[in-house]
Amino acid sequence: MIMKQYIRVYWKLFFLNVTSLTAYRSGLISNLISSTVWALFPFISIFLLTANTPVLFGWRREEVIFLSTMYAVYYGVFQMVFAKNFLRLAVLINTGEIESFFLKPIDGQFLVSVSRVGVTAFVRVIIGIGFGYFFGKQLGISVSFIDGILLLIALFCSLMLLYAVWMNILLFLIWNPKLSNLVEVLFTISGMARYPSNMYRMVNETLMYVLLPLSLTTVVPVKILFHNISWQDYFLLGGVSIVLCGIARLFWLFAMRFYTSSSS
Amino acid sequence: MLYNEHRMAISVSHLSKQYQTYKKEPGFLGSLTSLVSRKYETVKAVDDISFEVQEGELVGFIGPNGAGKTTTLKCLSGLLYPSSGIINVLGYIPFDRKNPYLKQIALVMGQKNQLWWDLPAQETFLLNKEIYEIPDDMYKNTLGQLVELLDAKKMLQVQVRKLSLGERMKMELIAALIHSPKVMFLDEPTIGLDVVMQKQMRDFLKNYNELQRSTILLTSHYMEDVRQLAKRVIIIDHGKILYDGKLDNLVKKFASHKLLSVVLETFVPKEKFEEIGTVVSFEYPKVVIKVKRKDSNDAASALLKKFPVDDLNIEEPDIEDVIRDVFNSKNE
Amino acid sequence: MRYVRIFFLNFQEAFSERGRSVVWFLIALFNPLLYFVFWYAATGSGNHNIAGWSIQTISSYYFLLIIAGSLFQSFADEQIGYWHIYQGRLTNYLLKPVSYYAMNFISEIPWRIIQGFFGVIVFLLMKLFFGNFIVMTSDVQTIVLCICISFLAYAVSYAVKAVIGISAFWLTDYYGLAEGVSMILLISGGFVVPLRFLPSWIEKIALLLPFPYAMYFPILAWMGKLSVGELFQVIGMQIMWILLFFGLFTVLWKKGVREYSGVSQ
C-alpha cells in the first residue's frame, strides 16, 4: 500500500519534470547539449589519456575504456534520478525551502532525493550503452541472461552506493549551508570511479582502500562481464552499499534534528 | 491518539527556542580578527511561552520583526525542535512529524513557495493530491470550493512564473489547503500584496474559517489583517508573550488615544491646536493631533467648526506603537 | 580609486567566504592530482617516459596546474550569465557609473588570489615532501615574465568567459553553450593532458584557440620550458586574444543591454 503510494508520487514527479523541461524549447536543447557534452567528455579524456599508453596498470586500453562505459551507464542513471536533487539541496537548505518537504505526509528524504529528474541525462546512458556495446564486441564479451540479471543488480548497488556517499557528505550542509559548492567537488570525486583500483594501489595502498567504495561501483559490474568475478566482490559491493545507505538514513534523521531553518 | 474535538487544538506549555550566533566587526580588520577570535551569543528566539487555541479559533499572532512569531509557528508545525517545553497539536507532538499529523496541518509562508515554477499550478495540486492520498471526488470538490472562494479559475492553467505575486499567493493557498487541513499556520500571508489582494486574502480566510471550522494561527505585522480576521490576538516581542486576549480589549486597553490627521486650507498657528489635543506633528498644511479615544469624535467636530479644514481623518495608532505601549506598560 | 575600493570590498567578501573558496580549491586540486596518479601508474611508478616527458616533468606540470586552475581560471560566465542577467541583478550594475567589464574583472581577482593562495600552500608542501618530482624555473628574468604571463592568463580567461556570459542576453538557458565551451577549454587548455600529448591534429586546432594561453603556456613558462623569445610571443598572443574578445564583448554588450528585460524574482 505504502509502496504503491510512493510509486504513484514518483510517477507524478517524473511527469512534472518532463513537462517542466519541455515548457521551454531552448532550455530542453540546452540541457540536451549539456548532457551530451558531459556524456562524451569522460570518453574523450580517457581516449586522450591512453593515446600514448596501450597497457596501463595491468589493463589494456580497451578494457580501461570499457570500464568508463560501465561508469557512464550507472552514472547516467545517477544523473537522471539523483544529481539534480543534490545540486538543489544546498539551495533548499539555505533558503529554507526544504521545510516544505518536511511537512508532507511522505518521507522527507525520499522527496528531497527524487523530486527533480534529470530527464536529458538519459543521453549519458545511451552513449554509455553504445560505447559499451562497441568495446564489448572488440573485447569479445558475451552476456548471458544470468549475467544480465547480475549486472543489473550490481549496477543498482553501485547507484545506491554512490547515492549514499553523496548524501553522507552533503548532509553536512545542514550545519554549514554556505558550502553548497561541495556538490561540485563530489562530481569530481565521483569521476575517480572511472579508473581501475590498481591505479591507486600503484601509488599508495591506503589511497586504494580510501577510494575502494567508488572503484567498486565500476569494477564489479565489469568483472561480471569479464567473467572473473568472485563471491567476495559481490558481497563487498552489496555489503558496502547497504552499510553506507544505512548510515545515510541514520545521518539524515540525525541531521534533521539540527536543522535550524532560515528566518522569515 | 489523544485528540478530542471538544478540547484544544493547540496547546503550548513553556516553549523556548534558542540559537547561537556570532558577531563580526565591520571592515577588513574585522574579517581578519574573526579568524582568531569570535564572540558567540545565545539568542532566545522564543522564551518560555504558553498558550492554548481551541478548535475553530482564528488567532492573530503579532509582533515586530524578530519577535519570534515565525519560530513559534515552525515549532508548532514540527519544523523546529524546541529547546524546551511541551507542544501538543491535535493530540500529536509536532516534531515527531507523523504522517497522520502532517495530513491534518498546513503551513503557508508568505515569501516561500512550493509551486513548480514552469508549470501551471494545477500540476502541483495534482502532485499534492497523490502525496496526501486525496480521493478523486474529494479533490474535485475541495479544489472547486477553493477556486471559487479565491476567484482563481482563470489562473489554474497559467504557468506560475507568469502569475503576479498576488495570483501566486492564491495558488499557494490552494496548494496548501487542497487536503483540507484542520489546523493552518499562516506566516505573513499578505506580505508584499497590494491592498486589493490583501482584502481578497482576508475575505477568503474569514470565509474558509467559517466554512471549514479549521483552526488558524496567523502571524502578521499588518494591523488590518488582525483587525479583520482575529477576535483574539497574542502579542509577542523578544520571544515573550506580552498580551493574550481579545483584540477589542487590546485596542481599548492599550491604545488609549487616537490620531486626528488634518489637512488645512489656510495656515493656522500650531498653538491653536493645543486646545484640542497634543500636537504630534505640524508640517503645514498637515497637522496630526493626539486625543483621548473617548474624546475623538468631539475633537473632530471641534476641529471642523473652529479651523479651515480641507480633509480630516481619524486614525488608530500604528500597530508598532500599540505594541510598544503594551511592552512599556508590561515593563512598568 | 573606486576600483581599489571595489577590490577591497570583494576581498572582504571572499575572505568571509573562505570556506567556499577552500571547496572550490579542492576541485582545482583533485583533478590534477588524479591525472598525476594516472600518469604515475601509467609510467610504471615513474620508470618510463611518455612522449618525451619524464615523470618529473609530468608531475611538475600537474602540480603547477593546481595553482593555475585556481589562479587563472575565471568564472565570469556564470557570474554574468546566470547571476546578473538570468537572475536580473544586472539592473543594479546598469545604474552605476562604473564600467561593468572592469568592475567584474576586478571583483573576481580577490577570489582568484585566495584560492591561488591555497594552491601555493599545497605546491610548497609538495615541493617540501616531493621535491624530486617538481621542476621549476629559477631564472629571475623568466620569473618576472612569468608573473606578467600569469596576470594576462587570468585576463584571457576572463575575456573569453565574459563573452560567453553575455550570451545569456539572447539564450534563456545559456548553460548548453557554456558547457560546450568548457569541454573545449578543458581539452585545449591542457587540463586533461599537456597539449604535447594530444594527437597532432588536435594539438594544431587547440593552438588556434585562446585557451592554451590561459593555462597551458603559463604552466610551461613556470616550468622553464620556454625561451625568452617564446615568452614574449606568449605575451603577444595573450594581448591579442584579450583585445579580440574585449572588442567582441563591447559590440555584443551594446546590443544585449537593449534586449535585457530585467526579469523580476
C187 contacts on A by Cβ (under 8 Å): 44-45, 48
**pLDDT tens figures, B273-309:** 988 889 988 988 999 999 988 888 899 999 999 999 9
What CA–CA distance (Å, rounded) separates B39 from B54? 43
Three cell numbers, residue C15: 575572505
DSSP per-residue string spanning A84-108: HHHHHHHHHHHHSTTHHHHTSSS-H
Has residue C105 got a pLDDT over 90?
yes
CB B37 within 8 A of CB B230: no
Query: Helix C18-42 vs helix A182-190: angle between axes, to the nearest 10 degrees?
Result: 10
Check CB contact under 8 Å for C20 and A31.
Answer: no
Residues whose CB is less than 8 angstroms from the CB of residue A41 and which lie 6 or more positions away in sequence, other chains included: C183, C186
Q: What confidence category does residue A263 fall into, taking pLDDT thresholds of 50, 70 and 90?
A: very low
Interface residues of C toward B, Cβ cutoff 8 Å, are: 8, 11-12, 15-16
B80 contacts on A by Cβ (under 8 Å): 259-261
What CA–CA distance (Å, rounded) separates A133 from B268? 95
Check CB contact under 8 Å for A264 and B110.
Answer: yes
Closest to C34 (Cβ–Cβ): which among A32, A180, A192?
A192
Among A11-15, B141-145, B248-252, C105-109, which stretch is predicted with the lowest mean pLDDT?
Answer: B248-252
Check CB contact under 8 Å for A96 and B187.
Answer: no
A19 contacts on B by Cβ (under 8 Å): 119, 123
Find which of B20, B89, B92, B97 to mutate to test the A interface (most A CBs within 10 Å of its CB): B97
Among A255-259, B2-6, B29-33, which stretch is predicted with the lowest mean pLDDT?
Answer: B2-6
Nearest one of C72, C94, C63 to C253, comparing CA atoms = C94
Check CB contact under 8 Å for B69 and A103.
Answer: no
CA triplet A237, A241, A242: central angle to 5 degrees?
120
A179 contacts on C by Cβ (under 8 Å): 19-20, 23
Has residue A83 got a pLDDT over 50?
yes
Check CB contact under 8 Å for C179 and A38.
Answer: yes
pLDDT of the residue at B316: 77
C12 contacts on B by Cβ (under 8 Å): 27-28, 31
Interface residues of A toward C, Cβ cutoff 8 Å, are: 24, 26-27, 29-34, 37-38, 40-41, 44-45, 48-49, 51-53, 56-57, 176, 178-182, 184-185, 188-189, 191-192, 195, 198-200, 202-203, 207
Average pLDDT, chain C: 88
Check CB contact under 8 Å for C12 and B27.
Answer: yes
pLDDT of the residue at B3: 42
CB C231 within 8 A of CB C142: yes
Would you call C47 helix, strand, or coil by DSSP?
A: coil
Q: What confidence category does residue B1 fall into, taking pLDDT thresholds of 50, 70 and 90?
A: very low
Q: Residue C36's closest chain A neighbor by CA?
A: A203
Q: What is the ipTM of this complex?
A: 0.83
pLDDT of the residue at A67: 86
State whether residue A146 sits within 8 Å of chain B by CB. Answer: no
Would you call C68 helix, strand, or coil by DSSP?
A: helix
pLDDT of the residue at A107: 93
Check CB contact under 8 Å for A24 and B132.
Answer: no
This prediction's pTM: 0.80
Closest to A199 (Cβ–Cβ): which among C31, C38, C175?
C38
Q: Which residue has the higher pLDDT, C20 or A14?
A: A14
pLDDT of the residue at A31: 83
**pLDDT tens figures, B202-236:** 889 998 998 889 999 999 877 788 888 888 999 88
Closest to C8 (Cβ–Cβ): which among B24, B28, B32?
B28
pLDDT of the residue at B4: 46
CB B15 within 8 A of CB B49: yes
Closest to A13 (Cβ–Cβ): which among B79, B100, B127?
B127
pLDDT of the residue at B31: 61
Q: What is the mean pLDDT of residues C190-207?
A: 91
- Rg over alpha carbons for chain B, rounded to the nearest Å, is 24
Distance from CA of C16 to the nearest CA of B (A): 7
Check CB contact under 8 Å for C15 and B31.
Answer: yes
Among residues of chain B, what percentage have pLDDT more than 70?
88
Distance from CA of B161 to the nearest CA of C (A): 9
**Residue carrying C-alpha cell 584579450:** C242
HSE-CB for B329 with a 13 A CA cutoff: 13
pLDDT of the residue at B328: 67
C15 contacts on B by Cβ (under 8 Å): 28, 31-32
Three cell numbers, residue A42: 569522460
Has residue A203 got a pLDDT over 80?
no
State whether residue A19 sits within 8 Å of chain B by CB. Answer: yes
Check CB contact under 8 Å for C38 and A182.
Answer: no
N- to C-terminal Cα separation, chain C: 33
State whether residue C33 sits within 8 Å of chain A by CB. Answer: no
Check CB contact under 8 Å for B27 and C16.
Answer: no
pLDDT of the residue at C263: 47
Q: Residue C15's closest chain B neighbor by CA?
A: B31
Q: What confidence category does residue A161 fall into, taking pLDDT thresholds of 50, 70 and 90?
A: very high
Has residue A164 got a pLDDT over 50?
yes
Among residues of chain A, what percentage have pLDDT more than 70?
94
pLDDT of the residue at B28: 61
pLDDT of the residue at B254: 73
State whether residue B99 sits within 8 Å of chain A by CB. Answer: yes
User: B–C: how many Cβ contacts below 8 A?
Assistant: 11
Average pLDDT, chain A: 86
Among residues of chain C, what percentage have pLDDT more than 70?
97
Out of A6-20, A57-71, B9-23, give the one with best mean pLDDT. Answer: A6-20
Distance from CA of B129 to the nearest CA of A (A): 9
Among residues of chain C, what percentage have pLDDT more than 90?
45
Q: What is the mean pLDDT of residues B173-185?
A: 93
Check CB contact under 8 Å for B27 and C11.
Answer: no
Has residue C230 got a pLDDT over 90?
yes
Q: Residue B24's closest chain C neighbor by CA?
A: C16
Chains in contact with A, where contact requires at least 3 CB pairs less than 8 Å apart: B, C
Q: What is the mean pLDDT of residues C137-155?
A: 93
pLDDT of the residue at C28: 87
Has residue C243 got a pLDDT over 90?
yes
Check CB contact under 8 Å for C11 and B28.
Answer: yes
For chain B, the maximum distance between any two Cα atoms, rounded to a whole number of angstroms, is: 71
Closest to A263 (Cβ–Cβ): which among B70, B113, B131?
B70
3-state SS of chain B?
A: CCCCCCCEEEEEEEEEEEEEEEECCCHHHHHHHHHHCCEEEEEEEEEEEEEEEECCCEEEEECCCCCCHHHHHHHHHCCCCCCEEEEEECCECHHHCCHHHHCCEEEEECCCCCCCCCCEHHHHHHHHHHHCCCCHHHHHHHHHHHHHHHCCHHHCCCEHHHCCHHHHHHHHHHHHHCCCCCEEEEECCCCCCCHHHHHHHHHHHHHHHHHHCCEEEEEECCHHHHHHHCCEEEEEECCEEEEEEEHHHHHHHHCCEEEEEEEECCCCCHHHHHHCCEEEEEECCEEEEEEEHHHHHHHHHHHHHHCCEEEEEEECCCHHHHHHHHHHHHHC
What's the gap between Cα B13 and its chain centre?
21
Has residue B190 got a pLDDT over 50?
yes
Q: What confidence category does residue B5 fall into, taking pLDDT thresholds of 50, 70 and 90?
A: very low
Chains in contact with C, where contact requires at least 3 CB pairs less than 8 Å apart: A, B
**pLDDT tens figures, A36-66:** 988 998 888 888 888 877 777 778 888 888 8
What CA–CA distance (Å, rounded) separates C174 from C165? 8
User: Going by DSSP bridges, is the β-strand pair B58-62/B215-220 parallel, antiparallel, or unpaired?
Assistant: parallel
Check CB contact under 8 Å for C15 and B27.
Answer: no
A7 contacts on B by Cβ (under 8 Å): none
Q: What confidence category does residue A125 fall into, taking pLDDT thresholds of 50, 70 and 90?
A: very high
What's the gap between Cα A122 and its chain centre?
13
Q: What is the mean pLDDT of residues A216-237?
A: 87
Q: Would you list the domain boundaries of chain A? A: 2-256
Residues whose CB is less than 8 angstroms from the CB of residue A255 and which lie 6 or more positions away in sequence, other chains included: A171, A174, A175
> Residue A11's CB: how many other CB atoms inside 10 A?
11
Has residue A109 got a pLDDT over 90?
yes
N- to C-terminal Cα separation, chain A: 37
pLDDT of the residue at B76: 93
Distance from CA of B106 to the nearest CA of A (A): 8
Which letter does DSSP use for residue C167 in this model?
G
pLDDT of the residue at C21: 86
Has residue C264 got a pLDDT over 50?
no
Backbone angles phi, psi at A176, to 5 degrees: -140, 75
Has residue A154 got a pLDDT over 50?
yes
